[in-house]
Chains A and B, each alone.
Chain A
């Protein structure tokens, strides 16, 4: 069976993974770990941002309703024989789940026993769509309640409001679940169209971690995955400028105290995954130096009581690059003014190399910790979907220099790239 070309890679703290491209076109990664829990993720490069696409050779682009990737994820659990996918997993003690993000739909399970049987179920149900007018209709009520649940969630509202202020056109602004109106337009035909475009094995990855080897996984893949002609997908993402679309957006919610989410937009994303990896590492360190727990900014807003629950995070991958700052405050505009003044002071005085060294080491420690669970199959999948070697983050981290971080600081921060989303309690008492 193993005429496959299997690549083995080991990193400096003894972790190993195996990779091969299956004849179906599927990328398979296996990370052996001596843990009781096995973890598997079967994912497609298809998410909320992919609402305008065609297959190479087709004349025109298909434009589909927002929320369809997520709707499709829900419907994959339906089977022609009427047996629910969850109960198939349950008889082998696995807990199964799925999620849709801006760029990915992932189907996963974890289990302590019957890995083979569960893996077979995973590959089987995700490769067999079964959509009927009745079962598609039935889901509309369930997803509508999921959307309503998020409508009452200020954390979700503040996030999408910010994305829609930062981006004017790019699909990164699209809500993963869509709206009650957009999902009303979803039909079985549209679902099949999206399915056969994006659930092509050459557009997918399988990542398994636990007490497992590549031969076992290949044997199941050989047996279960149907032959499908590879397709080349052409995705259209709307052109987006470097400045934010709107500087401010706000909404009222029944919350105890106003909340803010401030975004720094960056449209400088390389097509070269190596360059993206380097920038991701630099951005991680820069975000922590400026706004992490030991930064002057974070300590100042904490000690002065200006912000409760302050946090900073970043994203840098093929579809989006940005830094977020968030927290609860009575004075969002004061936070914003402090943010501007703080960046100005750093520009004048320069970043601190001592901070760089300390944070670089802490980041390395937190990277090691990722390997303490087979759940790392999820982190792997995210890296792979960004065309990165999952072990290279560690190497890039070792090689990043203070000068690179300083250069990134000079590049990122421009006033026309900042937007802030605010949630306030209702104005009537």
Chain B
């Protein structure tokens, strides 16, 4: 990847077109990301918006015609996504399309795919000045199902419950899909108003990754978005976690499960804005990310307490979590060991080989970015969101500069904040 050819231009107020040229792939990617504040009042509406748009447009009025057009255009895939990033809710519509050089019948794949995408985004099927009622109601039901289905996968459920409990007094605790009640309350006209608001006020980051005529693609998007009346942009700022709770918040939840899920949330105080952020990433690897970490080697390999026990850090809010699946009766043993391993780092027990392996792992992941359109998109998206243009090669230099003392130093601020255990109902325990 040649970082010099990454090109970014504002095509309308708060709307940016980012070009990432790369010719080695057979698949190209166009992603539009709308950045909105994470807010309990709008989370559900925002989450519902793209699924409703994907139900039908003026020229492709139902899901069958949209899907058939995608299939006809060499299996183009237009999909939506909803993510949480710090205190923002990110709404994505992503188009994955085959490169034109593989067209066997002369079809301009890019042109046809963009035509479909723009119809979906800008010409939704309307009735009486609002989105089609039937589509709104049907997608509401599916979103409600998805929210309720969060309980199905216990591993993810425990992680999400920890986050909810840890951030119960913070906007970050808001679920990016909204709540069942807030989805139920949405009307077709309220959703239509939110659509106009979002297209008017959200910062919009458009990314094209792969092999395109970028000049003409940028012009296409400029013209498309020239119809959007841009208003005051949303105020967008993430408030990092200020400190750990004075007293650890402890939550036990009981369900009919055969394995306990132990989740712990720690305050770190270090976000991507901090000069110590790379040291925090390395600390996370040494402590609990991956198969050579202290948690894996001790909680799993030495004590045989679990199949998985791992940590991850959050670059936006400044916290770290540990998740593990264990026998109910081993709860205390596992929790003690998880804390003891953190204590080891805080005492200064980080070996040169642990640090070297962690650096190699982080460098390896930076070097892989050039191998996938999705990774390149995520890398440059982070850059523009963090306001720091850095190439993977520059990141590698930062990684190499971190010392064991740096890792130990950043560990000093880490405090346990929230403790969550999903366990069996009393009668089975």
Identify the A interface with B (CB < 8 A): 13, 34-37, 84, 86-87, 90-96, 110-113, 138-143, 145-146, 148-149, 151-155, 253-257, 293-294, 299, 302-303, 305, 308, 328, 358-359, 361-363, 365-366, 368-369, 371-374, 426
Contacts and interface: CB of A to CB of B under 8 A. Distances in A.
B300 interface: yes
Interface string B144-159: 0110111111110000
Contacts of A34: 24
Given A36-B368, A113-B364, A256-B152, A361 B74 contact: yes
A369 B151 contact: no
Contacts of B290: 90, 95
A294 B291 contact: no
B71 A358 contact: yes
B361 interface: yes
B308 interface: yes
Given A91-B353, A358-B72, A373-B371, A148 B259 contact: yes
A141 B329 CA distance: 13
Nearest to B357: A90
B contact residues, range = 35 or more
Given A13-B26, A91-B353, A371-B26, 19 more contacts: A87-B292, A90-B290, A93-B363, A94-B364, A112-B368, A138-B304, A139-B304, A142-B301, A145-B327, A155-B153, A254-B255, A256-B145, A299-B67, A358-B71, A358-B72, A363-B75, A365-B75, A372-B26, A374-B371
14 contacts: A37-B371, A91-B357, A112-B367, A141-B305, A146-B307, A148-B259, A254-B257, A293-B70, A294-B67, A294-B68, A305-B142, A361-B104, A366-B75, A368-B26
A362 B145 contact: no
A155 B304 CA distance: 25
Nearest to A74: B307
A154 to B, nearest CB: 6
A142 B300 contact: yes
A302 to B, nearest CB: 6
A260 B291 CA distance: 35
Interface of B: 24-27, 62-64, 67-68, 70-72, 74-75, 98, 102, 104, 138, 141-142, 145-146, 148-155, 255-259, 290-292, 296-297, 300-301, 304-308, 325-327, 353, 356-357, 360-361, 363-364, 367-368, 370-372
B127 to A, nearest CB: 16
A371 B27 CA distance: 10
A96 B119 CA distance: 44
A37 B67 CA distance: 33
A201 to B, nearest CB: 26
Nearest to B363: A93
Contact of A153 (B149, B153, B308, B372): B153
B152 A154 contact: yes
Contacts of B102: 13, 365, 368
Given A152-B258, A365-B98, A372-B25, A293 B67 contact: yes
A353 B99 CA distance: 26
B259 to A, nearest CB: 4
A139 B326 CA distance: 14
A328 B142 CA distance: 10
Contact of B371 (A36, A96, A299): A36
A153 B74 contact: no
A8 to B, nearest CB: 21
Specify which of B148, B292, B306 lies most central, judged by the most chain A CB atoms within 10 Å of its CB. Answer: B292
B77 to A, nearest CB: 9
A317 to B, nearest CB: 23
A91 B145 contact: no
Contact of B256 (A110, A111, A153, A254): A254
A216 to B, nearest CB: 20
Contacts of A366: 75
Contact of B259 (A138, A143, A145, A368): A145
